[in-house]
Amino acid sequence: MVFERFVFRVHAIQRMYQWRISEDEVRNVIGTGDTIEDYPDDFPYPNRLVLGWHGARPIHVVVADNPDDKENIVITVYEPDPSEWETDFIRRKVS
Protein backbone atom coordinates (compact mmCIF):
# COMPACT_ATOMS: atom_id res chain seq x y z
CA MET A 1 0.00 0.00 0.00
CA VAL A 2 1.50 3.34 -1.01
CA PHE A 3 0.31 6.65 0.38
CA GLU A 4 1.20 10.18 -0.67
CA ARG A 5 2.72 10.97 2.73
CA PHE A 6 6.03 9.45 3.79
CA VAL A 7 7.48 9.69 7.30
CA PHE A 8 11.19 8.92 7.62
CA ARG A 9 12.40 7.73 11.01
CA VAL A 10 15.78 9.04 12.17
CA HIS A 11 17.30 5.58 11.77
CA ALA A 12 16.14 5.45 8.14
CA ILE A 13 17.65 8.86 7.40
CA GLN A 14 20.95 7.77 8.97
CA ARG A 15 21.02 4.62 6.84
CA MET A 16 20.07 6.53 3.69
CA TYR A 17 23.05 8.80 4.30
CA GLN A 18 25.33 5.85 5.09
CA TRP A 19 24.31 3.93 1.96
CA ARG A 20 23.89 7.03 -0.25
CA ILE A 21 20.26 6.20 -1.00
CA SER A 22 18.03 9.14 -1.88
CA GLU A 23 14.48 9.86 -0.76
CA ASP A 24 13.33 9.43 -4.38
CA GLU A 25 14.96 5.98 -4.50
CA VAL A 26 13.16 4.98 -1.29
CA ARG A 27 9.83 6.21 -2.63
CA ASN A 28 10.45 4.28 -5.85
CA VAL A 29 11.26 1.08 -3.96
CA ILE A 30 8.08 1.35 -1.89
CA GLY A 31 5.98 2.22 -4.93
CA THR A 32 7.31 -0.35 -7.40
CA GLY A 33 9.20 -2.94 -5.34
CA ASP A 34 8.07 -6.33 -4.10
CA THR A 35 7.20 -7.14 -0.50
CA ILE A 36 9.46 -10.08 0.35
CA GLU A 37 8.73 -10.42 4.08
CA ASP A 38 5.80 -9.41 6.26
CA TYR A 39 5.99 -8.61 9.97
CA PRO A 40 2.29 -8.51 10.92
CA ASP A 41 2.88 -8.49 14.68
CA ASP A 42 5.11 -5.40 14.77
CA PHE A 43 3.78 -2.51 16.84
CA PRO A 44 2.30 0.01 16.44
CA TYR A 45 1.84 -0.91 12.75
CA PRO A 46 2.61 -4.07 10.81
CA ASN A 47 5.88 -3.73 8.89
CA ARG A 48 7.09 -5.23 5.65
CA LEU A 49 10.41 -5.62 3.89
CA VAL A 50 10.37 -4.36 0.33
CA LEU A 51 12.98 -5.14 -2.33
CA GLY A 52 13.46 -2.68 -5.14
CA TRP A 53 16.18 -1.83 -7.61
CA HIS A 54 18.03 1.30 -8.61
CA GLY A 55 19.60 0.14 -11.84
CA ALA A 56 21.52 -3.00 -10.90
CA ARG A 57 21.66 -2.02 -7.22
CA PRO A 58 19.28 -3.87 -4.84
CA ILE A 59 17.72 -1.80 -2.06
CA HIS A 60 15.75 -3.08 0.94
CA VAL A 61 13.28 -0.82 2.73
CA VAL A 62 11.42 -1.72 5.92
CA VAL A 63 8.20 0.24 5.93
CA ALA A 64 5.09 0.38 8.09
CA ASP A 65 1.78 1.32 6.52
CA ASN A 66 -0.48 3.57 8.59
CA PRO A 67 -3.85 3.57 6.84
CA ASP A 68 -5.48 5.75 9.53
CA ASP A 69 -3.20 8.69 8.71
CA LYS A 70 -2.58 7.60 5.12
CA GLU A 71 1.19 7.48 5.51
CA ASN A 72 4.12 5.14 4.92
CA ILE A 73 6.58 5.14 7.80
CA VAL A 74 10.10 4.30 6.62
CA ILE A 75 11.85 2.38 9.40
CA THR A 76 15.17 1.52 7.78
CA VAL A 77 16.86 1.40 4.39
CA TYR A 78 19.91 -0.54 3.29
CA GLU A 79 21.70 -2.34 0.50
CA PRO A 80 21.43 -6.05 1.32
CA ASP A 81 24.65 -7.92 2.06
CA PRO A 82 25.30 -10.64 -0.56
CA SER A 83 26.79 -12.84 2.16
CA GLU A 84 23.43 -12.87 3.96
CA TRP A 85 21.06 -13.01 0.98
CA GLU A 86 20.63 -15.32 -2.00
CA THR A 87 21.62 -13.78 -5.34
CA ASP A 88 18.03 -12.61 -5.96
CA PHE A 89 18.08 -10.71 -2.61
CA ILE A 90 14.61 -12.12 -1.90
CA ARG A 91 15.59 -15.04 0.32
CA ARG A 92 17.97 -15.04 3.27
CA LYS A 93 20.77 -17.56 3.09
CA VAL A 94 20.36 -20.53 5.41
CA SER A 95 23.36 -21.06 7.64
User: Which residues are within 8 A (CB) of 50 and not within 5 positions of it... i.e. 6 or more apart?
Assistant: 29, 30, 33, 34, 35, 36, 60, 61, 62, 63
Average confidence score pLDDT of the chain: 96
Degrees, nearest 5: CA angle 38-19-15: 60
Task: Enter the pTM of the model.
Answer: 0.94
Enumerate domains of the chain plus CATH numbers.
Answer: 5-78 (3.30.2310)
Give pLDDT tens digits for 46-90: 999 999 999 999 999 999 999 999 999 999 999 999 999 999 999
- Whether residue 10 has pLDDT greater than 80: yes
